[in-house]
Amino acid sequence: METPLKISTSLLFLSVWVVAAASCKHDIPQINIPQADSTVSAFCNSDTVYFKNTVQPLIQTACAYSGCHDAASHEDDVILDTYTNIINTGKVKAGNPDDSKLYKVITETDSDDIMPPPPNQPLSAAQINIIYNWIMQGAKNNACLQCDTLNVTYSQTIKPIIESLCKTCHNPYMLSGNLILTTYDDVAAIAANGKLVGTITHAPGYVTMPDFADSNKYIGQCQIKQIVKWVNEGYPDN
Ligand code: HEC
């Protein structure tokens, strides 16, 4: 279900350049190579806290403003404007919120140490939970594309889902369940007979789809909503 699109072409060029430079000079050039760990998932998993979607906007409004932890003010040398700065100056230990400064200061009970400092409102339990879960999940530099249930079309929404989650098995070579899901007509046929919605919502009397052994590839709530909406609208070929 997760489709990481790593943008690493520029890094490739940079590394080639570093190697070339190192071979003519004898000292190793001091180049800060950016981290290439920002991954974008094609769909949002409701159990995952995404840095770009949720954590960064929260930290931006609660901490990284003028006079506090933006790049210009950097109170206590803490700058919370980018992923790298948040990890380094917020002393975030992936998987260990209680050992992460960022988490400790927002849960601090001493009013002299709590962040954001009074008279600002402390973070709500829900906001603290977001930071906690993000750190527990590895404090990744991740993002996902939001669930859009307004603009659902066959070509932009349904086809990519079928191609990434169903075509592996339902193609002319695999012929799983004697079913091919290649064209619009193929998909429209199982939309019409109820099997598309029945199998993905695990309705009684239907087999459960997609049928992967790897549970990470199961269909997300967002994709289910999008498919159900499209079917209810008469599964248009748009
Ligand atoms: C890993 C392989 C695999 C994937 C991925 C997969 N399927 Fe299936 N599918 C099967 C198998 C195997 C069957 C036959 C199961 C059975 O009859 O017990 C089947 C059966 C079906 C059936 C029932 C066919 C019938 O005539 O009763 C439907 C509908 C279906 N799949 C839809 C989907 C959809 C929609 C997706 C994607 C969201 C999907 N499948 C993904 C393997 C897969």
Burial class of residue 218 in the structure, from the number of CB atoms within 10 Å of its CB (0-12 exposed, 13-18 middle, 19+ buried) = middle
Could you report the per-residue pLDDT of 28-65, keeping only the tens digit for each? Answer: 333 333 333 457 776 777 789 999 889 998 898 888 87
Give the residue, out of 157, 163, 167, 170, with the most ligand 1 atoms within 8 A of its beta carbon, to mutate for a pocket test.
170
Q: Let me know: does 99 contact 107? Beta carbons within 8 Å.
A: no
More confident residue, 45 or 209: 209
Which residue's C-alpha comes closest to atom 34 of ligand 1?
A: 166
pLDDT band for position 146 (50/70/90)? confident
Q: Let me know: does 161 contact 155? Beta carbons within 8 Å.
A: no
* Share above pLDDT 90 across residues of the chain, in percent, rounded to a whole number: 50
Cα 96 to Cα 171: distance, rounded to the nearest angstrom: 44
Cα 100 to Cα 118: distance, rounded to the nearest angstrom: 21
Protein residues with CB under 6 Å of any ligand 1 atom: 165-166, 168-170, 176-177, 179, 190, 195-196, 199-200, 207, 209-212, 219
Cα 157 to Cα 237: distance, rounded to the nearest angstrom: 11
Confidence check: pLDDT of 159 > 90: yes
Confidence check: pLDDT of 185 > 60: yes
Cα 73 to Cα 65: distance, rounded to the nearest angstrom: 8
Residues 6+ apart with CB under 8 A from 233: 152
For residue 70, give the amino acid letter. Answer: D
What rounded mean pLDDT belongs to the chain?
Answer: 82
Specify the ligand 1 atom closest to the Cα of 217: 5
Confidence check: pLDDT of 7 > 60: no
